[in-house]
């Protein structure tokens, strides 16, 4: 949505923004309360009174949504996840997290915090309304009871709706946390939870369409049409958000499922162990422009020589030392199997501080993979992780 939004406050250091579309909802809510619910439950007041009360109630509903988002944000902050901002818009709110949760447990706790806040608020408002009703029969307090009951209903609905297990709703995040914990694959979990979101979105939309058709044909009551319209609206919203999440997860799936074999260079130039360092520099490092070469004899890898090893040897000794004497002996630190996922190879490089790895199959060198080749691959496939 490219409509403007305004910063209205800071809570826990998080900027709270209100999106332009939210004002539409605010007006719609105030209007429906002032002309529907309030005159029905509190008869005999003047229209300006109803409008005023409607606006106050709408503000409290807005506060409920904000508290729900703050519930998520509070737990996220405890996991050191920065919250860039909270935006309130037509469908409620969203807390923009600076990064993905570090573990399934963190994801679960962050996701459940919002609905928990809503359900607790719902119970508290209901309790408040009951308490006021039993303590005093004064007519002036009727408005408070109506407000308490309304807030209670809306908060419970907010909590329950968000628990629908379709990503990107909170329930879908809880589902993702479970799938992630079970399969240890974040992107696959995202993709599967988004598939559930697509399923629930379509179902809600179809139920809405059914209600609308029923109301039009006279099988159902006319007033059901509004509910049908809302369900279609929410269903389409969930469906499109889930489709977008799935699209986003898809290229990252390839980054974790593509193997080293698929992006390695299979033309491997190797050095002989008994050649002089001077010859290696002149005939290989200078002409091939590579940062390092495996050292091999009779098809067996003996070690690796990179620019780093050569630089540690004084130039005047280059003609007098053999490659064998300065190479790093072959080790799992730089020899990896060809079926490793690209992401794993990248992590291995980062841990070992090396710029390239030798790819092995059945004890034989089959290729080389460089840090820049992986970086290039990730760039092309739009991965952030």
H or E element in which residue 5 lies: strand 5-11
The count of residues in the chain is 385
H or E element in which residue 380 lies: helix 371-380
At a CB cut-off of 8 Å and minimum separation 6, what does 37 contact? 146, 150
Contact string 55-94 vs Zn ion (x = CB under 5 A): ----------------------------------------
CB of 119 to Zn ion, least distance (A): 12
Torsion over CA: 294, 296, 300, 301 (sign): negative
Contact 168, 96 (CB under 8 A): no
From the list 108-116, 120-128, 204-212, 228-236, the region that binds Zn ion by CB under 5 A is 108-116
Comparing CB distances to Zn ion, the nearer of 101 and 114 is 114
118 near Zn ion (CB under 5 A): no
> Which CB sits closer to Zn ion, 69 or 302?
69
> What's the distance, Cα to Cα, between the start and end of the chain in Å?
25
Question: Please, which residue, 107 or 303, has the CB nearer to Zn ion?
Answer: 107
The single residue of 69, 133, 309, 316 carrying the catalytic annotation is 69
Q: Which is nearer to Zn ion, 114 or 208 (CB)?
A: 114
Instruction: Please give the radius of gyration of the chain, using alpha carbons only, rounded to the nearest integer.
Output: 31
Burial per residue of 246-280, b for 16 or more beta-carbon CB atoms within 10 angstroms, e otherwise: beebeebbbbbeebbbebbeeebebbebeebbeeb
Closest contact distance (angstroms) between CB of 68 and Zn ion is: 5
At its nearest, how many Å lie between Zn ion and the CB of residue 205?
21
Q: Does 170 bind Zn ion (CB under 5 A)?
A: yes
Q: Which one of the spans 110-118, 140-148, 171-179, 324-332 is the region binding Zn ion (CB under 5 A)?
A: 110-118
> What is the distance between the alpha carbons of residues 73 and 94, in angstroms, rounded to a whole number?
10
Question: Cα(195)–Cα(47) distance, rounded to whole angstroms?
Answer: 47
Q: How far is the CB of 72 from Zn ion (least distance, A)?
A: 5
**In the complex, minimum distance from the CB of residue 258 to Zn ion, in angstroms, rounded to a whole number:** 33
**How distant is the alpha carbon of residue 295 from its chain centre?**
44
Minimum CB distance to Zn ion smaller for 99 or for 376: 99
Using CB positions, name the residue nearest to Zn ion.
114
Minimum gap (Å) between residue 60 Cβ and Zn ion: 18
Is the preceding peptide bond at 168 cis, omega within 30 degrees of 0?
yes
Nearest residue (CB) to Zn ion, 18 versus 253 = 18
54 binds Zn ion (CB under 5 A): no
Residue 325 annotated as catalytic:
no
Residue keyed to tokens 């409620």: 92
- In the bound state with Zn ion, the residue whose beta carbon lies nearer, of 70 and 260, is 70
CB of 328 to Zn ion, least distance (A): 51
Least distance from C-beta 344 to Zn ion, angstroms? 33
* Contact pattern for Zn ion over residues 129 through 168, marking x by CB under 5 A: ---------------------------------x------
Question: Can you tell me whether residue 268 is helix, strand or coil?
Answer: coil
Q: Name 256's Cβ contacts closer than 8 Å, sequence gap at least 6.
A: 185, 187, 341, 342, 343
> Residue 217: exposed, middle, or buried by beta-carbon count in 10 A (0-12, 13-18, 19+)?
exposed
Alpha carbons 239 and 182: distance in angstroms, whole number: 25
- Residue 383 phi, psi (nearest 5): -85, 145
Candidate segments 97-105, 112-120, 129-137, 299-307, binder of Zn ion by CB under 5 A: 112-120
Q: How many residues bind Zn ion (CB under 5 A)?
A: 3
Regarding 114 and contact with Zn ion (CB under 5 A), the answer is: yes
Contact 30, 54 (CB under 8 A): yes
Considering beta carbons, is residue 115 or 292 the nearer one to Zn ion?
A: 115
- Residues known to be catalytic: 69
By CB under 5 A, name the binding residues for Zn ion. Answer: 114, 162, 170
């Amino acid at each position: 949505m490219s409509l403007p939004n305004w910063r209205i406050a800071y809570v826990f250091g998080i900027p709270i923004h209100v999106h332009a579309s939210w004002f539409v909802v605010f007006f719609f809510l105030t209007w429906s309360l002032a002309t529907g619910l309030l005159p029905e439950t509190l008869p005999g007041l003047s229209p300006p009174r109803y409008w005023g009360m409607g606006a106050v109630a709408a503000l409290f509903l807005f506060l409920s949504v904000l508290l729900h988002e703050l519930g998520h944000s509070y737990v996220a902050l405890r996991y050191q996840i920065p919250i860039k901002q909270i935006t309130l818009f037509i469908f409620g709110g969203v807390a923009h997290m600076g990064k993905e949760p570090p573990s399934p447990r963190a994801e679960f706790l962050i996701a459940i915090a919002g609905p928990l806040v809503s359900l607790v608020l719902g119970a508290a408002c209901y309790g408040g309304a009951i308490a006021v009703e039993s303590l005093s029969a004064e007519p002036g307090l009727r408005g408070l009871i109506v407000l308490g009951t309304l807030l209670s209903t809306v908060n419970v609905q907010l909590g329950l709706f968000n628990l629908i297990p379709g990503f990107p709703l909170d329930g879908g995040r809880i589902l993702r946390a479970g799938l992630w914990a079970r399969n240890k694959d974040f992107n696959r979990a995202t993709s599967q939870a988004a598939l559930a979101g697509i399923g629930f979105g379509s179902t809600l939309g179809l139920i809405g369409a059914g209600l609308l058709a029923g109301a039009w044909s006279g099988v159902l009551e006319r007033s059901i049409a509004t509910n049908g319209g809302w369900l279609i609206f929410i269903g389409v919203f969930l469906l499109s958000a889930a489709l977008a999440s799935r699209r986003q997860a898809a290229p990252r799936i390839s980054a974790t499922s593509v193997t080293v074999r698929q992006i390695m260079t299979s033309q491997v130039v190797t050095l002989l162990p008994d050649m002089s360092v001077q010859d290696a520099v002149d005939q290989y490092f200078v002409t091939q422009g590579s940062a390092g070469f495996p050292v091999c004899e009779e098809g067996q890898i003996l070690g690796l020589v990179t620019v780093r090893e050569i630089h540690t040897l004084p130039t005047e000794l280059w003609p007098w030392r053999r490659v064998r004497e300065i190479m790093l002996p072959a080790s799992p630190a730089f020899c990896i199997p060809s079926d490793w996922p690209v992401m794993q190879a990248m992590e291995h490089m980062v841990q070992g501080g090396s710029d390239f790895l030798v790819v092995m199959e059945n004890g034989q060198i089959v290729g080389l993979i460089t840090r820049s080749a992986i970086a290039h691959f990730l760039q092309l496939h739009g991965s952030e992780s």
